[in-house]
Amino acid sequence: MSLGESEYCLLYVIVKIADYSFVCYEAEAARRDKEAADKRAEEEKARWRAKAAEATAARKEGKAKNKEAKKAKSAFKLEEERRARAAAELRTQEERAAQLAAEQESARRAEREAAELAGAAERAALREDAELAEALRRSEIDAEEEALARRVSRCEEAVSSESTGGGGDLPRRVERLEASLGTATEGSLEERVGAIERLIEPEAGEAAEHHLPVAEPSAAVSLADAGLDTGRPAAPESTMGGETTCIVCFARGKSHAAVPCGHLCACGPCSELMQECPYCRELVMMWMVPRPV
């Protein structure tokens, strides 16, 4: 049975493909064998290197042990070193104890100094309060004496149409008035002046006819009562005498007293702008804030 041309070509192709497949298989097998051989060679080299490294490490360890053995100290030297370390630790503990004691002493000294400073500040505050109270008391006494002197001046004007203008000794002026009126009253100076005023009251009309000045106290009127627009919101308003608020701005409360006269009359901002007391016009050395009792 003869083959045709097409069948022959197909057979030829199949044979070629089989040959190529066989060649490829042999090449792949050779490659795998080579890789396996290379891998075994590498493993062998790695084992050899590991053994060499172990041998080298063993030799180094042996040499190190020999050196340590040669450098090993005797028991006597070890005991000396132990004692030296114990002595150093003891010195360190003593130094720490001394430092702690010094710190505690410093803290106690600081506490004592703070207590002394607090005591000194408290004593200074008490002394300042006492001085302020004394200044206020003197100012009250001066105000009372000034009022009594004005009363005596009015009596003198009513009796003799002359006044000393507030000069001279006040008790002597009262004695002269009593001598002029032919009366003598026992009691304090204010009581004697009151008796004189009661005696000379009928002469007040005659004094008015001669146009003699007769001072009468004016009632204190607030700005709100006078119908003046202050331009401020509704708030407790001071009177002209300054009962509760600053007698300068009539807006803030009285908080500062003048020294040495002791008049409590201004607020903080106003007191910074004044060098004289607005009550008595006395020079102000300083302004103080009284402490509440």
Q: What amino acid occupies position 9? A: C
ω into 260 cis (within 30 of 0): yes
| Residue 192 lies inside a defined structural domain of this protein | no
The CATH code of the domain that includes 281 is 3.30.40.10
Condensed to tens digits (0 to 9), the pLDDT of residues 135-169 reads: 888 878 878 778 888 887 887 777 764 444 445 57
The pTM assigned to this predicted structure is 0.30
In a domain, 234, yes or no: no
Task: Give the mean model confidence (pLDDT) for residues 32-60.
Answer: 89
Q: What pLDDT digit, counting tens, does each position of 230-260 carry?
A: 444 444 444 444 578 899 888 888 889 999 8
In a domain? residue 186: no
Summarize the confidence of residues 20-33 as an average pLDDT.
Answer: 83
pLDDT band at 101 (very low <50, low <70, confident <90, very high): very high
Residue 75 lies in a domain: no
Tokens of 249: 């701005």
Q: Would you say residue 101 lies in a domain?
A: no
Question: For residue 151, what pLDDT is reported?
Answer: 81
Answer yes or no: is 231 within a domain.
Answer: no
Give 282's contacts (C-beta < 8 A, 6+ positions apart): 258, 260, 261, 276
Asked if 276 contacts 257 with a C-beta cutoff of 8 angstroms, the reply is no
Phi first, then psi: give them for residue 120, nearest 5 degrees.
Answer: -65, -40
- Contact call for residues 263 and 140 (beta carbons, < 8 A): no
Domains contained in the chain, number: 1
CA pair distance 285, 276, nearest whole angstrom: 9
Instruction: Confirm if 242 and 257 have CB atoms less than 8 A apart.
Output: no
The domain containing residue 273 runs over which residues? 242-292
Q: Which segments of the chain does DSSP mark as H helices, in order?
A: 5-71, 75-160, 170-181, 189-200, 204-209, 268-271
Domain assignment present for 262: yes
Return the top range by mean pLDDT from 77-86, 150-159, 198-207. Answer: 77-86
Instruction: Give the percent of the chain with pLDDT over 70.
Output: 78
Report the alpha-carbon angle 211-216-220, nearest 5. 145
Q: How confident is the model at residue 181 (pLDDT cuts 50, 70, 90)?
A: confident
Residue 116 within a domain: no
**Tokens standing for 82?**
């132990």
